[in-house]
Every structure is written in C-alpha cells, then in structure tokens.
A = this chain, B = another copy of it.
Amino acid sequence: MRDLTRLKSLQALEASARHGSFVGAAAELDVTPPAVGQLVRSLEDWVGYPLFRRSRSGAERLTPVDEAQDALDDIAEGLDLLETGLRKLRGRKARSVVVVTASQALVANWLLARLDDFSTNYPTIDVRLDVSDRVIDLAQGEADVGIRCGLGSWKGVKSTFLMSEEIIAVCHNRLLPVDRDVTAGWIVDQTLIHDGTPHPGGDFPTWAEWLARSGANQVPSERGLRINSTAAVIQAAVAARGVALVRKALVAQELDSGRLVHLLPNVRWPVKWAYYIVAAPKALRRYEIAAFHDWLVARPR
C-alpha cells in the first residue's frame, strides 16, 4: 500500500533544485515561474519547513537546504525512472502517423523545409501531408493537425500562435533595374501580379493601397496578372513574370537564396492574420500529435 501524494510538487521541487531557480524549472516544465513557486511552497507547507534558501539576486537564486538534499537524490532518481518507464511505454508503439493539413503555398514554401528536423527528432513518427486550400474540419478528425494562416479563432480546436505575418513586395532579381534604385514609380511600371485569393478580415492590401503608402504619385490600373492561388502567385514571381505582393513567411527561402528580392523594405504592411497550429483537444491526447504540436511550437521560426 503506497502512500504518495503531491507528485507534481515533487517534480517542481526537483527541477527547481537542479536549475537553481523557478525560472529555469518553469522553462523545463513548460509552465510559468509563479506556477513552480506555488507548487514548491505548497510542498513546504506540507513538510513544515523551507526547502530552499532564497537569494534575491545572483545566478543561484535557490539553494536546497541541507535537510532536503538526501531526499532530492531519491526524488531525482525516482523521476528518472518514471521518465524511463514512460519512454518505454511510448517506445513499444509501432510507427505512428500524424496527418498534417496546410495550404499548398504553406506546405511548399514553409513547412516542407522544416519537416526534416521533425523526422530527425522523432524517427518513429511518420508525417502525412494533406495539402488543401479549404479549411479542413479537424474536430471531425479529417486530419490531426493543421497549420493555418488566419485570425486564430476557429471553433472546436485549440489554436496556438506560431508567428505573425506581413505583406511585402518582391520580384525576381533579374527584373531589378541595373542603373537606378527601385522606386514606387518603377514598380508602377512593372507587370503587377495580383493575388485573387480571399483573405477575409486579414487586412491584405491591394496594389493600389500598397503603392499609395509607398509614395507613388500615380495609381496603377488593374492590369497585370491576377491569380487566385497564392502558391501560383509566388511561382509567377519566382519565374520573373512580374512584381508580386506576397506573405513574407512564404518566400523566406527565396529571399534567403537571393532569387527573390524584397522591394522597398521600409514599407511595412503587417496584417492581422498570423500563423497558428491547430488541433482538436482530443487529438492532442495522443503522444504523436502532442509531439508534433510541441515540436513546431518550440522551434524558432
């Protein structure tokens, strides 16, 4: 008959001792520092004496009291064994699959470049990409996880912010004028590629709006290319067919490679839409779904 309570507090205690601070422990436990502080103090209430000496400054803010050291060794070893046990439980699963849905533009221009890192970290989890430009019903299990660009408030799913977005003007480096700087006037004279896909509530600019903010004296006509596919708009820009207004995140690689060039970078046009990873709460109870979710949320953009 085991007599064991306050598991979460023991975990918080051990992580705080190991890191020397609640801040360090909080980062490991994926909670806020006050949360760790509360857990440790509740344990101190329980045992009836302080478990740390506190320092209000310096690198080592918490020092375990001598009376706790012996116990901390047992607790650390115990938690190590629990982690080993949990890993063994997970390790017995045959390969598992995560179905990720995202738009063609997002998959091709952003997500694919990152999936190698996921497979490296999680070799037993297969990712299946379900490319779709319509909003997949995750609550109905049509996919496990979605990467979406939008306002973030979709029904029936948990959405977690990844990064914000802004609209920039780009063109192929071949199109750049050789003998003068790029100006709004220069842009007006190029073939303008219009993205016809709807972005409700997203504050996407038209070329007219963007150029007005850029200081252009004349407003362009609606001539040029009009494509109702964001992926195709980017491809047209990459193919040097004209100048395009695009979402910055989707052309990051092309910008890095120099193939596309960011025109008039001082003109900022942040939008309300941002990138989120979304999943049904029920799906997140599965290890592989939570693993993918947590991996994407944790990695730098």
Contacts and interface: CB of A to CB of B under 8 A. Distances in A.
A85 B72 contact: yes
A4 B79 contact: yes
A77 B96 CA distance: 29
Contact of A82 (B42, B74, B83, B90): B74
A287 B48 CA distance: 8
A16 to B, nearest CB: 12
Nearest to A82: B78
A161 interface: no
B77 A89 contact: no
A74 B84 contact: yes
Interface residues of A, number: 49
A29 to B, nearest CB: 9
Contacts of A89: 43, 47, 51, 67-68, 71
A31 B190 CA distance: 72
A86 interface: yes
B71 A3 contact: no
Contacts of A83: 2-4
A54 interface: no
A28 interface: yes
Given A49-B93, A93-B47, A7 B82 contact: yes
Contact of A10 (B10, B42, B82, B90): B82
Interface string A213-227: 000000000000000
A8 B84 CA distance: 16
Interface in A279-298: 285-288, 290
A100 interface: no
Interface in A1-60: 1-8, 10-11, 15, 28, 42-43, 45-49, 51
Interface of A: 1-8, 10-11, 15, 28, 42-43, 45-49, 51, 67-68, 70-75, 77-86, 88-90, 92-93, 96, 285-288, 290
